[in-house]
Structure 1
Amino acid sequence: MNIDFNFRLRQVFFLLLVLAFAIIIFKQLFIFFPGFLGALTLYILCRKYFLHLTLKRNWNKSATALLFMVLFMACIVAPVYFSLQMVYSKVQVILKEPEQINQAMEAVSKQLTTWTGQDLLNKQAIGDVGKKVGSFIPGMLNSSAMMLGNLLMILFLAYFMFLNGHTVEATLRKFIPLKARNIDLLADETVGMVRANAIGIPLVSLIQGIVAVLGYWIFGVKDFVLLGLITGFFAFFPVIGTALIWLPIVIFMFSKGDNGKAIGLAIYCLVAVGNIDYLARITILKKMGDVHPVTTILGLIVGLRLFGFWGFIFGPLMISLLLLFIKIYKTEFGEPHTEKKAGHIQ
C-alpha cells in the first residue's frame, strides 16, 4: 500500500511539473498560437493531395511540401496582402483628411433626421464614431508584424507536419484516451469543420464581396472595389454583416439626391447580396460541412478577441470543435453508462 501510494504521489507530482512547464511555455508562445492553428489547417486541407503525390506518384516529400507552401503564398497570402495594401492606402488618406468621413456621416445624419424627425446621429455621436474608427483601423493595420510572424510560423510548422504527418498521427492515436471509433469520428468531423470554416466561410464572403462590387459599379458608387472588399469582409457576420456597409451607402446616395440610384442599389443589395449568402450556404457550405450562422457569430466574437485577424477563421472552428467534443463525450462516456443501467434493470 505504501509503495503504491508513493508511486501515485510521484506520478501526480511529475504530471503537475509537466503541466506547469507546458502552461509557462504556452503563455509565452500564445502570440504564435494562430500560426500553429494555421499550419494545422493547411495540413488538414492538403493532406490527401500530399499523400497522393508522395505515396502513389513517388514525389519527393521535401519538394512537394515546398510546392504546397508556394501555392499557399500565391493563392492566399498574395491576395490578402494586396487587399490590405489597398485598404491601408485609403485609410492613410482618410486619417490625413478626416473631414471626408465627417461630411459623409453628417449627410447621412441629415437624411435620417428628414425621414424620422429625430436626430439619431448628433455631432457628439459622429465624433465618437470617428474616434473609434480612427483608433481601431490603425491598430488593426499595425498588427502586420504579428501577422507576418504567424505567417512564418504557419510555413515553418506546416513544412514539418507534411514531412512527419504519418508519425504524428500514429502517436496521437496512441495518446488520445478515446475509443477507436471516436478517434475516427474526431478526425472525420475535424476535416469537415476545417473545410467549412477555412474554405467555405471565406468563399461565401468572397462571393458576396464580388456581387457587391458589381452592384456598386452598376449604380455609380465611388471606390466600388474598396467598398466591395469591405462588404465582403463584413460578410463574415451572417445576416446583417453586409448591410452595415451598403445601407449607409444607400442613405448617403439619398442625401445627395441620387434617389433613383439609391433605390436601385437598395433593391439590388437586398435581393442579390442578401440572397447570395443564403444560396451559397445551402450549396457550398452544405457540401463542405454545415456551419450554423450562430456558430459563426459566436466564433467570430471569441476568435477576434483571442487571435485578432486570424480569429475570422479559427474562432468558428473553436466553437465547432467544442460542439464536437460534447458529442464525443456523449458517445464515449454516455453509452457505457446507459448500457450498464439497462443491464441492471433487466
Structure 2
Amino acid sequence: MPSIFNNRLRQITLLLIIILLAGLLLQQLYIFLPGFLGAITLYILLRERYFHLTIKKGWGKTITALLFIFASLILIAVPIYFSIVLLTHKISMLINNPAEIIMNAKLVGKKLEALIGIPLLTDANLLALQKKITTILPQILNSSANILSNFAIMFFILYFLLMNGKEVERYLEKFIPLKEQNVDLLGIETKNMVKANAIGIPVLAIIQGIVAGIGYSIFGVKDVVLWGFLTGVCSMIPIVGTGIIWVPLTVYFFAVNNISSGIGLLVYAIVLITNIDYVARITILKKLINVHPLITIFGVLVGIGLFGFWGVIFGPLLISYFIILIKIYINEFVLLKNDTP
C-alpha cells in the first residue's frame, strides 16, 4: 500500500509540474498562437498534395517543402502586405488632411440631426474621432511587426510539419483516448472544417469585395479599391457584415443631396452585395462550404476573441469539435453501456 501511495503521489506531482510548465510556456508564447494555428491550417490544406509528390512521385522532401512554403508566402503574405500598405497610406492621408473628412462628417451629422432630432456628430465627438484616428496608424505599424514575427513562426512550423508530418500524426494518434473509427472521424471533421473556412470564407470575402467595388464605382464612390477591400473584410463579421461599409456610404450620399446615387447604391447593396454570399454558396462553393450558418456565426464570434484573425477558421472548428465530441461520447460510452447485458 505505501508503495502504491508513493507512486500515485509521484504521478500527481509530476502531472502538476507538467501542467504548470505548460501554462507558463503558453502564457509566454501566446503572442505566437496565430502563427502556430496558421501552420496547422496550411499543413492540413497541403498535406495530401505534399505526400502525393514526395511518396508517390518521389520528389525530395526538402525542396518540395520549400516550394510549398514559397507558394504559400506568395498567396498569403503578398495580399496582406499590400492591404497594410493600402490602409496605412489612406490613414496617413486622413491624418495629414483631416479638414475634409471633418467637414463631411459635420454635414452628415446635421442631416441626421434634422432627420431624427438627435445630435449624433457633435464637435466634441468629431474631436474625439480625430484623436482616435491619429492613434490608428501607430497601432497598424506595431501590429505589422507582430504579423511578421507570426509569419516567420508559421512557416518555420509548417516546414517542420511537412518534413515530419507522418511521424507527428502517428505520435498524436497514440495519445488520443478514442476508438480508431472516432479518431478517423475527428480527422475528417478537422480537414473538412479547415478547408471550408480557410478557403471558403476568404473566397466569399473576395467575391463580395469585388461586387461591392463594382457598385461603388458605378455610383461614384471615391477610393473604390479601399472601400471594396474594407467591404470584403467586413463580410467576415457575423450578422452586420458588409453593412458596416455600405450603410454609411449610402447615408453620406443622402446627406450631400446626391439622392440618385444614394438610392442606387442602397438598392444595389440590398440586392447584390448582401445576397452574393448566398449565391456563391449554392453555386461555385457548394461542395466546399457545407457548414451550418449558425456554426459559422457563433464560431467566428468565439474564435476572433480567442485567436484573432485565425479565429475565422478555428472558431467554427471549436463549435464543430464540441458537437462531434458529444457524438463520440455517446458512441464510446452511452451506446456501449446500453449494449452491455
User: What TM-score, normalized by structure 2, do the two folds share?
Assistant: 0.92
**C-alpha separation between the residues in 2 aligned to 1:311 and 1:124?**
35
Residue 236 of structure 1 is matched in structure 2 by 236
Alignment CA distance shift 1:90-1:183 (3 Å): same
Task: Note if contact 1:101-1:130 (Cα within 8 Å) is conserved in structure 2.
Answer: no
Q: Does 2:59 correspond to 1:37?
A: no
* Structure 1 residue matching 2:220: 3-state secondary structure: coil
Letter aligned with residue 73 of structure 1: L
Residue 106 of structure 1 is matched in structure 2 by 106
Alignment CA distance shift 1:279-1:138 (3 Å): farther
Task: Note if contact 1:43-1:158 (Cα within 8 Å) is conserved in structure 2.
Answer: yes
Alignment of 1:122-161 (within 5 A): 122-136=122-136, 138-161=138-161
Q: Does 2:245 correspond to 1:251?
A: no
- The Cα shift of 1:51 comes to 1.0
Q: Deviations over 1:30-82 (max 9, x none)?
A: 11111111111000001111111111111111111101101101111111111
Alignment CA distance shift 1:9-1:289 (3 Å): farther
Residue 326 of structure 1 is matched in structure 2 by 326
**C-alpha separation between the residues in 1 aligned to 2:267 and 2:178?**
53
**Structure 1 unaligned regions, length at least 5:** none
Q: Deviations over 1:142-166 (max 9, x none)?
A: 2111111110011100011011111
- The Cα shift of 1:235 comes to 0.4
Letter aligned with residue 315 of structure 1: G
**Structure 2 unaligned regions, length at least 5:** none
- The Cα shift of 1:137 comes to 5.7
Q: Does 2:88 correspond to 1:88?
A: yes
Task: Note if contact 1:39-1:154 (Cα within 8 Å) is conserved in structure 2.
Answer: yes
**C-alpha separation between the residues in 1 aligned to 2:151 and 2:230?**
22
Cα RMSD of the aligned pairs, angstroms, is 2.2
Residue 64 of structure 2 is matched in structure 1 by 64
* Structure 2 residue matching 1:279: 3-state secondary structure: helix
**C-alpha separation between the residues in 2 aligned to 1:133 and 1:312?**
26
* Structure 2 residue matching 1:288: 3-state secondary structure: coil
Letter aligned with residue 56 of structure 2: K
- The Cα shift of 1:239 comes to 4.0
**C-alpha separation between the residues in 2 aligned to 1:299 and 1:137?**
29
- The Cα shift of 1:281 comes to 3.1
**C-alpha separation between the residues in 1 aligned to 2:106 and 2:299?**
34
Task: Note if contact 2:95-2:133 (Cα within 8 Å) is conserved in structure 1.
Answer: no
Alignment CA distance shift 1:139-1:192 (3 Å): same
Residue 266 of structure 1 is matched in structure 2 by 266
**C-alpha separation between the residues in 1 aligned to 2:139 and 2:22?**
30
Identity %: 47
**C-alpha separation between the residues in 2 aligned to 1:136 and 1:339?**
61
Corresponding pairs, count: 341
**C-alpha separation between the residues in 2 aligned to 1:175 and 1:162?**
21
**C-alpha separation between the residues in 2 aligned to 1:54 and 1:82?**
33
Letter aligned with residue 70 of structure 2: V
- The Cα shift of 1:282 comes to 3.6
Alignment CA distance shift 1:53-1:189 (3 Å): same
**C-alpha separation between the residues in 1 aligned to 2:306 and 2:136?**
16
**C-alpha separation between the residues in 2 aligned to 1:142 and 1:88?**
12
Task: Note if contact 2:92-2:137 (Cα within 8 Å) is conserved in structure 1.
Answer: no
User: What TM-score, normalized by structure 1, do the two folds share?
Assistant: 0.90
Which has the larger displacement, 298-307 or 158-167?
Answer: 298-307
Which has the larger displacement, 292-301 or 196-205?
Answer: 292-301
Residue 185 of structure 2 is matched in structure 1 by 185
**C-alpha separation between the residues in 2 aligned to 1:154 and 1:270?**
39
- The Cα shift of 1:335 comes to 2.3
Task: Note if contact 1:196-1:285 (Cα within 8 Å) is conserved in structure 2.
Answer: no
